[in-house]
């Protein structure tokens, strides 16, 4: 690849976070409350919520054509500036990934995996990283960037509930396409924490699909309740524990496995135009909610309901603090979450939706 001048990039401060019930969130990761904040420190990429402004230079014309079974790595450069003003430039490899969004008929710009050369990343923003998922805009219109922002914020909401969750880092990326005369376009995207880094941070091990057949009844009871209520909160049914679909199952010594959710673009809170309810469900629209869980009693939900009430302002702040979100999108999401809180504050609705409506 020919030499490319270093692009200067800025870092800006993004929205904050808030803590909730330490005991409940500690229980979700199998630690005592006093230990819940003593996790393995995050590598630089996920050590802050600051928005990243990056430039990625590659032959995106060729990359976007690479969607078959035998996909290959494509050389690229990432340019960034550290918080101390030092400039980073890192040669990486990009590869297309995904399933539904990989199809050309669905997404003009497919999701990417960034393969970081660990030996050369030392001391840079990507120090300690290896293979990173990069969630990108799919199509060129502005509403697809709104979907990116909404999906990113769904990750942030689950981060408020428990450390046993994938961290995400929002980025505004300028793509320089060497295959189209260095044509540029700037879009929102976000990185997702690598599975191995997540495991190291929370002190867990992955459950291999070949090791054990999984279903919801085998999960840690309290954490599975939190997991299912969160999915109901964001209106997401695009997951399956038994099929390991959009679910990462991990284990701790001496306790039941837990499920960690990811990929929320088909959720009601995102409300993507391409999303639709799964067949054989009573849902008419993707924004309808369905509680997918083994049945429980009203008592079993109260700890999670209490935590979510405690975090209500923090959740709202995630959205009101995002100037990148269109005002109409912020109002829509606020109404969507308001309906959830109206449900959990009504005993009859709790009985109908959660106790008798388990699916």
Domain spans in the chain, listed from the N-terminal domain onward? 11-196, 204-355
Taking a C-beta distance cutoff of 8 angstroms, is the pair 59, 178 a contact? yes
Average model confidence (pLDDT) for the chain? Answer: 86
CA angle 219, 155, 81 (to 5 degrees): 135
CA angle 19, 25, 28 (to 5 degrees): 160
**How far is residue 197's CA from residue 38's CA, in Å, rounded to a whole number?**
15
Of 52, 56, 61, residue with least CA distance to 77: 56
Structure tokens at 13: 């401060």
DSSP track, 67-108? -STT---EEEEEEEE-TTS-EEEEEEEEEE--SGGGSTTT-S
183 forms beta bridges with 177
Taking a C-beta distance cutoff of 8 angstroms, is the pair 266, 287 a contact? no
Of 156, 145, 115, 120, residue with least CA distance to 132: 115
Of 290, 246, 245, 282, residue with least CA distance to 264: 246
- CA-to-CA dists, residue 108 to 60, 79, 135, angstroms: 11, 24, 13
What is residue 146's three-state secondary structure?
A: helix
pTM value?
0.88
> What's the pLDDT tens digit per position in 186-226?
999 999 999 999 999 999 999 876 667 788 989 999 999 99
Chain centroid offset of residue 66 CA: 24
Residue with tokens 């997401």: 236
* pLDDT at res. 311: 98
Parts of the chain with a pLDDT under 50: 1-21, 25-26, 28-38
* pLDDT at res. 105: 79
* pLDDT at res. 346: 97
């Amino acid at each position: 690849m020919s030499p490319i001048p270093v692009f200067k990039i800025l870092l800006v401060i993004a929205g904050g976070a808030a803590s909730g019930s330490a005991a409940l969130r500690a229980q979700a990761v199998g630690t005592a409350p006093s230990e819940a904040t003593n996790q393995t420190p995050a590598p630089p990429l996920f050590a802050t919520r600051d928005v990243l402004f990056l430039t990625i230079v590659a032959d995106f014309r060729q990359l976007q054509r690479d969607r078959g079974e035998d996909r290959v790595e494509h050389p690229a450069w990432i340019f960034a500036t550290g918080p101390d003003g030092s400039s980073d430039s890192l040669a990486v490899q990009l590869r297309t990934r995904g399933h539904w969004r990989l199809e050309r008929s669905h997404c003009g710009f497919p999701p990417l995996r960034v393969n970081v050369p660990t030996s050369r990343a030392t001391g840079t923003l990507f120090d300690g990283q290896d293979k990173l998922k990069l969630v990108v805009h799919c199509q060129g219109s502005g509403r697809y960037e709104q979907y990116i922002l909404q999906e990113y914020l769904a990750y942030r909401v689950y981060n408020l509930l428990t450390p046993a969750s994938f961290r995400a880092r929002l980025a505004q990326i300028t793509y320089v396409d060497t295959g189209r005369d260095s044509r540029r376009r700037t879009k929102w995207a976000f990185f997702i924490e690598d599975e191995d880094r997540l495991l190291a941070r929370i002190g867990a091990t992955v459950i291999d699909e070949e090791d054990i057949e999984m279903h919801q009844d085998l999960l840690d009871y309290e954490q599975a309740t939190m997991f299912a209520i969160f999915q109901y909160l964001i209106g997401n049914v695009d997951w399956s524990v038994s099929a390991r679909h959009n679910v990462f199952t991990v284990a701790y010594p001496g306790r039941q496995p837990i499920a960690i959710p990811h990929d929320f673009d088909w959720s009601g809170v995102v409300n993507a135009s391409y999303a639709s309810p799964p067949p054989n469900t009573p849902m008419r629209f993707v924004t309808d909610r369905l509680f997918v869980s083994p049945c429980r009693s009203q008592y079993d939900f109260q700890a999670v309901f209490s935590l979510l009430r405690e975090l209500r302002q923090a959740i709202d702040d995630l959205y009101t603090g995002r100037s990148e979100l269109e005002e109409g999108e912020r109002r829509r999401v606020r109404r969507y979450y308001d309906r959830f809180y109206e449900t959990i504050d009504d005993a009859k609705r709790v009985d109908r939706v959660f106790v008798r409506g388990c699916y």
